[in-house]
Amino acid sequence: MAVENREWYLACYAPHGVPNSNHLKLRTVSLSLEPHSIPDGHVAIETLLLSIDPYLRTTFTGPHNLDGLYFPQFQLNEVIRGVGIGRVKVSKDSKYKEGDIVLVFGDLPFAEYSVISSTNIFTKIDAASDGISLPDYLSCLGVPGFAAWVSIEVIGKAKEGSNVFISAASGGVGMIAGQLAKLRSCRVIGTTGSDEKVKLMKEEFGYDDGFNYNKEADFDAALSKYFPDGIDVYVDNVGGKMLEAVLNHVNKHARIPLCGMISQYNKVWTERDGVRNLLNMVGKEVRMEGFMIGSHFNRFDDFAKEMKKYIKEGKVKAKHKINIGIESVLDSLNSLFTSSNVGKVIIQFNAQ
């Protein structure tokens, strides 16, 4: 059986700015799902859900980018790939059978159907017995949840009484990081881009307080107000001017996990906001550490066990923005860079 298969590919590099339809394009190709056409050790996947994550933006910059990120760049005319959930249609690996629901971390083509090596499957999902929804596997148990857990537990080492500040607090990582910090009896303040999202992070995600950065002309003054006793842990998702302001308010031995810098992704490095007060890190003996979640996969089982327990107990929850259909990929990606985005952005395919 051959299917008419729609897929997104990189047509032109986007060294700066928000990617548009000149950079990412949707095309239709024929793909055989006949068993004889599937190589040994491979499976044919029908995509159910795709995770739209900010890191994807950094894979379209081009071969000469100077971001310091080790994400490989997609080649021109190559199908873009990411994290998603699919259903096995044909298997040439005895570990998987038709109908299995699988999670693929980083290597699932943005296509309705695909043939991938079974080594790219992260795990099988039994949502019925787990009692956990499929979208939660892409939020609380996916890239955002794991990044939040590494930030709070591994690098931030948040503990009872810690003053924790989280930027992009209503986004995919921030909403979970705040809840994890509260479960560790921390005082948690967040910042986000609208009054509505400030209300959301307080009422739904349990933040103690927060502010709308678009209404604050002086970040230093805002942080003085919300952190009279200084900041012990700052989960940085935005970089730029907010990071600089935070360094004026850190306590001795503060920890700063650098999870992302979404305010800077669409700029070439020479146009990005510099941080002028790094000397504060010396006198305060601050630890600031960037990380990639792949370097912490040895802790994933610890994370998953803890997170599944919290989800089942109702102690951690996520808000999902689910867009329907493969054609929504470009708009979904670009929504991450606007103040309108709330929670985890997911694309649900019509096969769901």
Cα separation of 53 and 219, whole Å?
Answer: 27
Condensed to tens digits (0 to 9), the pLDDT of residues 191-203 reads 999 999 999 999 9
- What average pLDDT score do residues 266-295 get? 87
pLDDT at 184 over 90: yes
Condensed to tens digits (0 to 9), the pLDDT of residues 301-343 reads 999 999 999 999 999 999 999 999 999 999 999 888 776 678 8
Q: Pick the range with the lowest mean pLDDT from 129-133, 182-186, 284-288.
A: 129-133
Condensed to tens digits (0 to 9), the pLDDT of residues 109-126 reads 999 999 999 999 999 999
11, two tokens: 């047509």
Cα separation of 247 and 150, whole Å?
Answer: 21
pLDDT at 264 over 70: no
* Length of the chain in terms of residues written: 352
270, two tokens: 């020479």
pLDDT at 128 over 80: no
pLDDT at 266 over 70: no
Q: How far is CA 293 from the centre of its chain?
A: 10
- Only one residue has tokens 């995509």, namely 47
Q: What is the 3-state secondary structure (H, E, C) of the chain?
A: CEEEEEEEEECCCCCCCCCCCCCEEEEEEEEECCHHHCCCCEEEEEEEEEEECHHHHHHCCCCCCCCCCCCCCCCCCCECEEEEEEEEEEECCCCCCCCCEEEEEEEEECECEEEEEHHHEEEEECHHHHCCCHHHHHCCCCHHHHHHHHHHHHHCCCCCCCEEEEECCCECCHHHHHHHHHHCCCEEEEEECCHHHHHHHHHCCCCCEEEEHHHCCCHHHHHHHHCCCCEEEEEECCCHHHHHHHCCCEEEEEEEEECCCHHHCCCCHHHCCCCCCCHHHHHCCCEEEECCHHHHHHHHHHHHHHHHHHHHCCCCCCCEEEEECHHHHHHHHHHCCCCCCCEEEEEECCCC
**Angle at the Cα of 188 (from 182 to 190), degrees rounded to 5?**
125
Q: Write down the pLDDT at residue 62.
A: 83
- Band (pLDDT 50/70/90 cuts) for residue 274 is confident
pTM of the model: 0.92
Torsion on CA atoms 292, 139, 298, 313, rounded to nearest 10: 140
Q: Write down the pLDDT at residue 343.
A: 87
Contact between residue 165 and residue 158 where contact means Cβ atoms under 8 Å apart: no
Cα separation of 93 and 40, whole Å?
Answer: 7
- What average pLDDT score do residues 280-284 get? 95
- Only one residue has tokens 């998603």, namely 84
Q: Write down the pLDDT at residue 108.
A: 97
Condensed to tens digits (0 to 9), the pLDDT of residues 44-75 reads 999 999 999 888 888 888 876 556 555 788 99
Contact between residue 151 and residue 184 where contact means Cβ atoms under 8 Å apart: no
pLDDT at 244 over 60: yes
Dihedral angle sign, alpha carbons of residues 139, 261, 58, 69: negative
pLDDT at 82 over 60: yes
Condensed to tens digits (0 to 9), the pLDDT of residues 10-39 reads 999 988 888 999 999 999 999 999 999 999
Cα separation of 61 and 67, whole Å?
Answer: 9
